[in-house]
Amino acid sequence: MDFEYDFQMSQASLLYLGIIAEFFATLYNFIVKLLKAKPAKQVYIVDDDVSVCRALSLLLMTFGFAVKTFGSGEAFFSQVPKSESGCLILDIHMPVMDGWQTLRQLVNAGSPRPVILISAEKKEGLQVKALKNGAVGFLQKPFNDQELVRLINGAFQK
Average pLDDT, the chain: 86
Q: Is 112 or 158 the better-scoring residue by pLDDT?
A: 112
Phi and psi angles of residue 20, each rounded to the nearest 5 degrees, phi first: -65, -40
Alpha carbons within 13 A on the beta-carbon side of 101: 11
H helices of the chain, in order, are 2-36, 50-62, 73-79, 99-108, 126-132, 145-157
List CB contacts of 117: < 8 A, sequence separation 6 or more. Answer: 90, 91, 92, 99, 103, 126, 130, 135, 137, 138, 139
pLDDT digits (tens, 9 = 90+) for 102-122: 999 999 998 899 999 999 888
- pLDDT at residue number 61: 93
Q: Is 58 or 35 the better-scoring residue by pLDDT?
A: 58
Q: How far apart are CA 148 and CA 146, in angstroms?
A: 5
- pLDDT at residue number 29: 73
Q: Please state whether the peptide bond connecting residue 142 to the residue before it is cis, i.e. omega within 30 degrees of 0.
A: yes
Q: Is 120 or 16 the better-scoring residue by pLDDT?
A: 120
Q: Packing angle between helix 50-62 and helix 145-157, nearest 10 degrees?
A: 70
User: In DSSP terms, which residues pair with 43 in a beta bridge?
Assistant: 67, 87
Longest alpha-carbon distance in the chain: 90
- pLDDT at residue number 54: 94
Contact 124, 110 (CB under 8 A): no
Q: How far apart are CA 111 and CA 157, in angstroms?
A: 16
Q: How far apart are CA 99 and CA 114, in angstroms?
A: 14
